[in-house]
């Protein structure tokens, strides 16, 4: 009798445990997604649960439009000095013309925020680094200005600051002798906003740029990436870039 009672108790424990586990497993994805969808508190570190990415539709990119470039320059205080060869450019418009067919295209080119960034591999001090959420940045406190990352970048995304700067914007510190590049507007992204270039493109109603979390299957960028064919520039290098393009 006592054995039967014990056996019943074991069975009840097992069933309730199993039921709890199954329920937990069923609910967990919803709970995890829900946490990511909410804003990250200011004192919480970024994590690799999120991977920021961008999808650019070159068919919607207007050849004569420079809104993304102007917005980036304004956002970060990138004033030119009348020296185009050494002035910083974080994003630029690239015009393509097929040598064989004559077909023309235009697209914005920025730091591709690779998953395996060559610039991070080669930096001797580790100043060039990839944040847990995929944004590739330069820690300018550690940058010694050797420019090796600029040699290594397959997209020529980085700029070196060739002169003394004044009146930097508080959210975009930059100074002489260090290297910089597009940060995916990390100061905006950390405050749940989109990069300035994407905002400007949308304001012009071209809507060529989509920014979002590629790890979130419900985000607009994930849905578009699944729906439409897209590719990376220099995909053969297998860097798994965060910026993808449609129509190239």
Partner 1 sequence: MKPAIQFSEIDGGMRFYALLGFIALFVLAGLGAAYYMEHNGHWVTGMSNQVVWGTPHVFAVFLIVAASGALNVASISSVFGKTPYKPLARLSGLLAICLLVGGLAVLVLDLGRPDRLIVAMTYYNFKSIFAWNIFLYVGFMAVVAIYLWMMMERKMNRFTKPAGFLAFVWRLILTTGTGSIFGFLVARQAYDAALMAPMFVIMSFSFGLAIFILVLMAACKWSDRPLGDVILLRLKNLLGVFVGAVLYFVIVYHLTNLYITEHHGFERFILLDGGIYTGLFWIVQIGLGSLLPLALLYLPSTGNSRGWISIASLLVIIGGLAQVYIIIIGGQAFPLEMFPGKEVTSSFFDGGIASYSPSLPEVVLGIGGVALALAAVFVGIRVLRFLPTSLADDQVDPHHAAATTEAAA
Partner 2 sequence: MTKRYLSIVTFCLLAVVPVRALLAGDGLYPEVPKAKARFSDTQECVEPLEDMRKNHMEYILHQRDATVHEGIRTRQHSLVECINCHVSDAADAARASSEKHFCSSCHSYASVKIDCFQCHADRPVKSSDNPSLAPSAMSHHIKHDHSAEVLTGKQLRALANGGANDE
Q: Which residues bind partner 2 (CB under 8 A)?
A: 40, 42-46, 75, 129, 131-133, 137, 139-141, 164-165, 167-171, 173-178, 186-188, 190-191, 193
Measured from the Cβ of residue 155, the count of other Cβ atoms closer than 10 Å reads 19
Report phi then psi at 94, rounded to 5: -115, 130
248 makes contact, choosing from partner 1, partner 2, none, with CB < 5 to 8 Å by partner type, with partner 1
Q: Which does 170 bind (CB under 5 to 8 A by kind): partner 1, partner 2, none?
A: partner 2
Question: 10 Å Cβ neighbour count for 195?
Answer: 25
**Could you say which residues in the range 163-222 bind partner 1, by CB under 8 A?**
163-164, 176-179
Helix (H, G, I), strand (E, B) or coil at 53: strand
173 binds, among partner 1, partner 2, none (CB under 5 to 8 A by kind): partner 2
DSSP-assigned letters across all residues of 202-228: HHTT---EEEEETT-TTSHHHHHHHHS
Q: Under the criterion CB under 8 A, does residue 65 sit at the interface with partner 1?
A: no
* 195/183 Cα distance (integer angstroms): 9
Among 151, 168, 207, 218, binds partner 1 (CB under 8 A): 151
State the number of CA atoms in the 13 A half-sphere of 171 facing the CB. 13
If we measure between CA atoms, which residue out of 80, 105, 82, 98 comes closest to residue 90? 80
97 interface partner picked from partner 2, partner 1, none, CB below 5 to 8 A per type: partner 1
126 belongs to the binding site for partner 1 (CB under 8 A) = yes
98 binds partner 1 (CB under 8 A): yes
- Binds 168: which of partner 2, partner 1, none (CB < 5-8 Å by kind): partner 2
- Binding-site size for partner 1 (CB under 8 A) equals 57
Tell me the β-bridge partners of 213: 52
Any contact of residue 109 with partner 1 (CB under 8 A)? yes
Task: Give whichever of 109 and 201 is closer to partner 1, judged by the CB atom.
Answer: 109
C-alpha span between 179 and 187 (Å, rounded): 18
Question: What are the angstrom distances between the C-alpha of 30 and each of 25, 33, 35, 218?
Answer: 10, 5, 9, 12
Question: Which residues sit at the interface with partner 1, rule CB under 8 A?
Answer: 69, 81, 83-89, 92-100, 109, 118, 120-127, 142-148, 150-156, 158-164, 176-179, 233-234, 237, 248
């Amino acid at each position: 009798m006592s054995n039967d009672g014990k056996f019943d108790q074991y069975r009840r424990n097992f069933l309730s445990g199993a039921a709890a586990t199954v329920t937990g497993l069923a609910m967990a994805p919803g709970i995890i997604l829900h946490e990511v969808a909410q804003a990250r508190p200011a004192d919480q570190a970024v994590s690799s649960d999120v991977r920021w990415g961008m999808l650019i539709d070159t068919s919607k990119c207007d050849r004569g439009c420079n809104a993304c470039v102007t917005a980036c320059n304004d956002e970060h205080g990138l004033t030119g000095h009348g020296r185009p060869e050494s002035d910083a450019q974080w994003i630029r418009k690239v015009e393509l013309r097929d040598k064989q067919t004559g077909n023309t295209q235009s697209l914005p080119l920025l730091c591709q925020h690779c998953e395996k960034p060559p610039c991070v591999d080669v930096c001797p001090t580790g100043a060039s680094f990839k944040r847990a959420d995929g944004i590739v940045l330069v820690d300018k406190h550690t940058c010694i200005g050797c420019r090796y990352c600029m040699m290594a970048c397959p997209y020529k995304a980085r700029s070196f600051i060739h002169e003394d700067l004044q009146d930097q914007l508080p959210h975009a510190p930059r100074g002489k002798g260090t290297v910089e590049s597009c940060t995916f507007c990390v100061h905006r992204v950390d405050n749940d906003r989109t990069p300035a270039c994407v905002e400007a493109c949308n304001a012009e109603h071209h809507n060529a740029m989509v920014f979002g979390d590629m790890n979130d299957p419900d985000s607009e960028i994930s849905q578009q990436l699944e729906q439409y064919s897209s590719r990376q520039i220099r995909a053969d290098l297998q860097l798994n870039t965060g910026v993808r393009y449609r129509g190239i």
